[in-house]
Amino acid sequence: MMFFCASPLIEAYRTSDFFGKSIFLALFILSIITWAIFFQKLFQSRLAKQGKDSIYTLLKKHPYEIFDLHPKDGPHPFLRIYQTIKEERGRSNREITQAHVQTTISNETKQLKKNLFILSTIMSLAPFLGLLGTVWGILLTFSELQSGVSGATSQVVMGGLAMALGTTVCGLLVAIPALIAYSYLKNVIAILTTEMEDFSELLFAYTQATIK
C-alpha cells in the first residue's frame, strides 16, 4: 500500500476526473482487502503450525497415554482431529471413525481456505480496473486534443495521460501482491492439509496399538 503514497500516483489521482478518482479509490480498497486477508490467513496458518508442534511435543512426552491427555493450547485443526479420534476410538467400526475424522479435516481445510477466493478475484480484477483507467485517460486526452490544445486545456491533457499511466501502475501494484499472497497461502494450506491427514493416521496407528 505504500506505493499509493508515492508522489507521482498522488499527482495522477489529484489531476484525474471523478471517474478516474473512483478507479484509484477502488484499487486502493482492493489493496487494503488483499493485505488484510493475507495477514489474517498468515496468522491463522501459523496458529495451526504452532498447535501442531505443541500437540506433537505432548504426544512424544506421553507416548503410552496419548488418549488420556488434555492439551491446554487453544482450538486449532490438530487439536480438533485429536479430540475427534479420542471421542470415536471406542467404536468397533473403524470406517465410521475414519469418516468422522475426514469430515473434521475437510471442515478445517474449508476454514483455512475461507475468503481465499477473494484474493483470486482481486488478482484478476485489479489489472482490468487499471486497464479501464488507462483507456479512460487516453480517451480524455484524445478528446482534448481534438478540441485543440491551448494553455487552458494542456493541463487536462497531461492529467488524462497521468491518470492512464497511474491506474495501470496501481492495477499492477494490487494484482502482483494478490497473486503472490494467493499462491503462497494455497501452498501453505495444502501442506497443512497433508500434515492433518498424516497426524490422523498416526493417531489411528496408536489406537490400533492400544487395542492390541
Q: How confident is the model at residue 151 (pLDDT cuts 50, 70, 90)?
A: low
Residue 16 has pLDDT above 90, yes or no: no
Of 149 and 168, the structure prediction assigns the larger pLDDT to: 168
81-85, 141-145, 181-185: the lowest-pLDDT one: 141-145
Contacts of 154 (CB under 8 A, 6+ apart): none
Q: How confident is the model at residue 152 (pLDDT cuts 50, 70, 90)?
A: very low
Residue 1 has pLDDT above 60, yes or no: no
Give the relative orientation of helices 18-61 and 94-113 as an angle to the nearest 10 degrees: 140
Q: Which domain holds residue 87?
A: 2-211
pLDDT at 59: 79
Share of the chain above pLDDT 70, in %: 82
Query: CA–CA separation, 165 vs 130, rounded Å?
Result: 9
Q: How confident is the model at residue 44 (pLDDT cuts 50, 70, 90)?
A: very high
Give the relative orientation of helices 94-113 and 151-211 as an angle to the nearest 10 degrees: 160
Count structural domains, the chain: 1
Supply the DSSP string of 38-56, one letter for each residue: HHHHHHHHHHHHHHHHHHH
Look up residue 159 and give its DSSP letter: H
- What the block records as the C-alpha cell of 104 is 473434521
